[in-house]
Chains A and B, each alone.
Chain A
Amino acid sequence: MAYGLRVWDSSGNVRVDTTDRQMRFVALYTGSTSGNATTTITVTGMSNDGTWGLNDRITENRAGRLEMGTNVFRHVNTGSSSLSYKVEVFRV
């Protein structure tokens, strides 16, 4: 082992190991975006660097999409009707 943290439970199961990545919650953002419009949400530090993740819980929003930028993400609505979003931001 080069370095890192390993934690076991009392049964000897490894809870965290030195090669794991851990999913960590940042914030939940909810709202709606008007038809043919974009909502921009500021998240300080966000970057498309392979450590920031997005989950939109509204699974059936066909006309909506998420875009990640620097310190922001965007909910883009390409349809004519308003769309809700419920986005979990996390790091991994």
Chain B
Amino acid sequence: MSYGITCLNQSGFTQIDGTYDNMAVFASGTVSSSHGNTQNKVSLPSNTPASFAIFAKPVTESGTTALTFKYIEASDEFFFQQSVNNSTLKSISWVIAVRSVDMPANNNPDYGLTVNKANGDTAFDSNNGSFRVQQASFVFITANSSANVMSVANMSGVYANMTGKTDLGVGQYNSQVNAIYSYFSIWNYSDDEIKFLIGPSYITSDQAGSAYGGGFKTNLIGTFT
């Protein structure tokens, strides 16, 4: 880039550079979690742009909550599935973030900072809420992956990125049935940690031992402003 602004954080990571679009808060809400065949789904707002990411956290910040994410491409709906062995539903706070350039026009802007790209598109606008990433990890999931644990000094308001492939394969749940194994985000408010771990999300009649997907996965946690 021949002109413009680049902002680095204290660790040297780029925050704003006018090359890539910072993500901004587009929509938010709450929904009950899901279990088994009970799917409490959220429909994407009709004006949701093509590119987005979805984040979530439990509304009640105590105890332990484990969620995996399901996105239904055909109907543009999503829901948060609990593990097979936990049927107590919880209220979940969700946020949809989109590219800054895809945000609706703001007719009453506040003061702050706006950064445009060379083509005039908005790369960053402090009028928009943004995801302040606290920790990131980049893992390669296999059937035998151990938990990826993030210790968090202050768990208040900490969301996790839920978007991404979650269903990994079929394995034996007990001597009677198999289950689909998925990638879970687990908020543990007693231990001040968020971990990412494979667990059973659905009982299934599918045969175990079929292809186990896995692969590259990005884990992000942080807060929204």
Q: Interface 1/0s, chain B 5-21, versus A by CB < 8 A?
A: 00111110111110011
Contact of B126 among A9, A68, A73 (CB under 8 A): A9
Question: Does A41 interact with chain B (Cβ within 8 Å)?
Answer: no
Q: Residue A66 contacts which of B69, B170, B215 (CB distance < 8 angstroms)?
A: B215
| Number of residues of chain B lying within 8 A (CB) of chain A | 63
Q: Are A64 and B213 in contact (CB under 8 A)?
A: yes
Smallest Cβ distance from B29 to chain A, in angstroms? 19
User: Total A-B residue pairs with C-beta atoms closer than 8 Å?
Assistant: 186
Given A22-B132, A23-B220, A55-B161, CB of A65 within 8 Å of CB of B213: yes
A residues whose Cβ falls under 8 Å from a Cβ of B: 1-5, 7-10, 13-26, 28, 48, 50-68, 73, 76, 78-79, 84, 86, 88, 90-92
Given contacts A20-B15, A23-B131, A59-B165, 18 further A-B contacts (CB under 8 A): A5-B7, A7-B112, A15-B130, A20-B9, A22-B16, A23-B23, A25-B21, A26-B20, A50-B136, A57-B71, A58-B165, A62-B167, A62-B168, A62-B169, A66-B165, A68-B216, A92-B133, A92-B220
